[in-house]
Amino acid sequence: MGLLSGKTALITGAARGIGKAIALKFAAEGANIAFTDLVIDENGEATAAEIAALGVQCKAYASNAANFEETATLVAQIKEDFGSIDILVNNAGITKDGLMMRMTEAQWDTVIGVNLKSAFNFIHACTPIMMRQKSGSIINMASIVGVHGNAGQANYAASKAGMIALAKSVAQELGSRGIRANAIAPGFIETAMTAALPEDVRKEWMKNIPLRRGGQPEDVANTALYLASDLSSYVSGQVIQVDGGMNM
Ligand code: NAI
């Protein structure tokens, strides 16, 4: 018996990176996996096959997490396909960095839409299902910059601070219905998102990490497993930093 046997997890933006690592970790613990990404191409199909090879039900869905109507329709479809939704991981996220003086309205709106509104969309669609089940675990993927702020990332940092406050608020509203909500705030994790950073910026980040290494997607997935499973059955409204002890 795995820690998540018989549960269904819905993970957004999981064709690659941290979301994929979470999907694989949950599947290894027995969860059936519904995951989304903007498009399900060869890479997404390969991720779905890798998850299904662990012996669980898995289906990949193309969806724009920032779209409210699309999300409502998608969640209804997933409920029909899987029968329940026990765990929701709001993982989809993007960056469009720039200093405040030069940040365009489009840069702001896109990042807030994909990173923060998406979580509202999925929580709004999933919580009626979780309330009927009288249980559920919601995990919002925030970031340490949502705790500390970061020059050049005002839009991203604000969206991630929003993810933390959203989780804390939902935890207060829906705790009496058996629903827990928490946030994970990763530091510097080695994925496509951070590979795109210039070498000097990467080196600067590394200097501030006491554990002297970048995090791996699996480091975040292990924390997500804790929050998704009954190991954390009395933990709600929290934000857990997974950052190697980083000093910002
Ligand atoms: P990634 O870029 O490798 O993966 C993000 C996934 O989200 C991609 O597959 C992308 O196609 C998908 N996505 C983007 N827009 C979407 C949309 N509108 N609808 C559905 N899917 C969409 O990024 P990574 O590093 O795996 O990040 C995952 C999450 O963790 C993000 O929310 C990110 O902000 C957060 N995070 C990452 C850190 C890092 O160091 N890599 C640090 C802190 C937080």
Angstrom distance (rounded) from CA 78 to CA 166: 23
Claim: this prediction has a pTM higher than 0.85: yes
The stretch 56-80 carries a mean pLDDT of 98
Structure-token pair, residue 68: 């409210």
The pLDDT, as a whole number, for residue 59 is 98
Burial of 234 (0-12, 13-18, 19+ CB in 10 A): exposed
Beta strands in 202-242 (DSSP E): 239-242
CA of 95 to the centre of ligand 1 (A): 8
- Out of 29-33, 184-188, 204-208, pick the least confident: 204-208
Residue 212 has pLDDT above 80, yes or no: yes
CA-nearest of 189, 24, 233, 4 to 93 is: 189
Percent of the chain scoring above 90 in pLDDT: 92
Which residues are paired to 61 by β-bridges? 36
Cα-to-centroid distance, 92 and ligand 1 (Å): 5
Which pLDDT belongs to residue 4?
A: 98
Question: Which residue's C-alpha comes closest to atom 38 of ligand 1?
Answer: 189
pLDDT score at 115: 98
Mean pLDDT of 72-91: 98
Is 226 one of the catalytic residues? no
Side-chain half-sphere CA neighbours of 111 within 13 A: 22
